[in-house]
Amino acid sequence: MKIEIVFPGKIKNDFILVGFQEYLKRLNRFAKISVVDFDQSHSKDPKICVEEESKKLVKYLCGRKFTLLDVDGIEINTHEFSSFIKREIEKSEIIFVVGGTYGVSEEVKQLANFRLSLSPMTFTHSMTLLLLVEQIYRAMKIISGQPYDH
Amino acid sequence: MKIEIVFPGKIKNDFILVGFQEYLKRLNRFAKISVVDFDQSHSKDPKICVEEESKKLVKYLCGRKFTLLDVDGIEINTHEFSSFIKREIEKSEIIFVVGGTYGVSEEVKQLANFRLSLSPMTFTHSMTLLLLVEQIYRAMKIISGQPYDH
Sign of CA dihedral B142, A117, A77, A146: negative
Chain A's closest residue to B80, CA to CA, is A121
Q: What angle do CA A73, A65, A146 make, to 5 degrees?
A: 75
Residue B8 bridge partners (DSSP): B38
Tell me the shortest Cα–Cα distance from A93 to chain B, in angstroms. Answer: 22
Residue-range domain boundaries for chain B: 2-143
Q: Give CA–CA dist B142/B29, Å, rounded.
A: 14
Cα dist. A4→A60, A68, A84, A114, B111 in Å? Answer: 12, 12, 15, 15, 44
pLDDT at A90: 84
Note whether A16 contacts B14, CB cutoff 8 Å. no
Tell me the shortest Cα–Cα distance from B14 to chain A, in angstroms. Answer: 9
pLDDT in tens, A74-102: 999 999 999 999 998 888 789 999 999 89
The pLDDT mean for chain B works out to: 93
Residues found in chain B: 150
Best of B7, B121, B133 to disrupt the A interface by mutation (most A CBs within 10 Å)?
Answer: B121
In this structure, what DSSP letter does residue A28 have? T
Burial tier of B45 (Cβ tally within 10 Å: 0-12, 13-18, 19+): exposed
pLDDT at A11: 93
Average pLDDT over residues A29-43: 93
pLDDT beyond 80 at A148: no
pLDDT at A147: 81
This complex has an ipTM of 0.91
CATH no. for B2-143: 3.40.1280.10
- Going from the first residue of chain B to its last (150 residues), give the mean pLDDT of each consecutive group of 10, the final group possibly shorter: 92 95 95 93 94 96 95 95 92 92 95 96 94 96 83
Taking alpha carbons only, the member of A132, A130, A16 closest to residue B18 is A16
Which residues fall within 8 angstroms of residue A100, CB to CB, at 6 or more apart?
A7, A8, A9, A40, A41, A49, A50, A53, A125
Q: Give CA–CA dist A30/B4, Å, rounded.
A: 39
Asked if B16 has any chain A CB less than 8 Å from its own CB, the reply is yes
- Give the phi and the psi of residue A75 in degrees, each rounded to 5: -90, 140
